[in-house]
Amino acid sequence: MSVAIPSVPAYAELQVTTNFSFLRGASHAGELVARAKALGLNALAITDRNTLAGVVRAHAAAKAADLKLIVGARLDLQDAPSLLCLPTDRAAYGRLSALLSLGQRRAQKGQCTLYLDDVCAQEAGQGQNFIILAPADLNHSGGGGDQTGFTAKLRHIRHMLPKAAVYLAASP
């Protein structure tokens, strides 16, 4: 008699920050890739805050480890919830890079100032997958953050990015 062993579902961590996310991430990209491989993850997304700096080293490490790397960035917007932006091809990567350069040019060194209109303008959102991150103070059990305001922002983002793949992140 044989017993069927359930297969482990595919899993990829989609919000990983390297030491290039100052005061947020501490590990080097190579260390994160090695740990993801050791844990049996199918893929890893490097999404540093308002930068693509960590993906270059992560790419080399992921290639050596034979681990799928998902390239992206976390866009901390001034007027909307943060978005994970995951380009789907080289052209979309170029548009994300240009968007980040725009935000960095208008801010002080080491900072990035981006707005939702920047993400939506000039096809910057074309070829991107977006994951909307709920604010940390949003409390679904009542008495916490502004749930009605967040819901309105979600609708606005969806309206502003009608052709983009837009998802909402959930975490415990």
Encode pLDDT of 64-80 as tens digits: 999 999 999 999 999 99
Prediction pTM value: 0.85
Encode pLDDT of 102-133 as tens digits: 999 999 988 999 999 999 886 778 889 999 99
Secondary structure of residue 111 in the 3-state scheme:
coil
Q: At residue 27, what are phi and psi to the nearest 5 degrees?
A: -90, 150
Q: At residue 44, what are phi and psi to the nearest 5 degrees?
A: -140, 135
